[in-house]
Amino acid sequence: MIIAWSGELDKVWPQMILATTGAAMGMDTTIFFTFWGLFSLVKDEKHITGENWMQKMVAMMDRPGMEHLKLGKMNFAGAGPAMMKKLAKEHNVASPGELLQMAVDLGVKLVPCQMTMDLLGLKREDMIDGLGEPAGATAMLMESQDAITLFI
């Protein structure tokens, strides 16, 4: 069980690497996406409108989608992510978007947090295909009782 709470590139990349590696090793792998981590599941071309001005402001300040991830450190007004993506390409490292598709293909359970969806004004149609049903903290804690749990 990986709890993906951050939507920053330097956190999303390890989330996806660990999930796809675990699935490739035959492990049952689940990623529970909550708070800012949920933004990595939003379709890149989607512009979240929200139901009120606060939800609209959140979407304007932090554009969701895998192609718009910022670095937690050394973002440099967008130059940091571009440099990291260039380095990754030079070293044949899959991008977070490619890893996300790989996770779907490998059967990783991708579970969006229902409470966070409600809080941020996200709808199911805003999200990528291949997701499990939205769930809450209780369901995820029940599922992870006997599992390795990583909070990234």
Q: What is the pLDDT of residue 130?
A: 92
Q: What is the pLDDT of residue 49?
A: 66
Q: Which CATH superfamily is domain 2-151 in?
A: DsrEFH-like (3.40.1260.10)
Sequence ranges of the domains in the chain = 2-151
- 55 in Cβ contact with 116 (< 8 Å): no
What angle, 0 to 180 degrees and rounded to 10, lies between the N-to-C axes of helices 96-106 and 9-24? 30
Per-residue pLDDT of the chain (152 residues; tens, 9 = 90+): 999 999 999 999 999 999 999 999 999 999 999 999 999 999 877 666 677 888 877 777 767 778 878 888 887 777 888 888 899 899 999 999 999 999 999 999 999 999 999 998 888 998 999 999 999 999 999 988 888 888 88
Q: What is the pLDDT of residue 75?
A: 76
* Long-range contact set of residues 100-106: C-beta below 8 Å, sequence gap at least 24: 100/16, 100/40, 100/66, 100/128, 102/16, 102/20, 103/16, 103/19, 103/20, 103/23, 103/29, 103/31, 104/129, 104/130, 106/20, 106/23, 106/24, 106/29
Q: What is the pLDDT of residue 145?
A: 85
Q: What is the pLDDT of residue 46?
A: 63
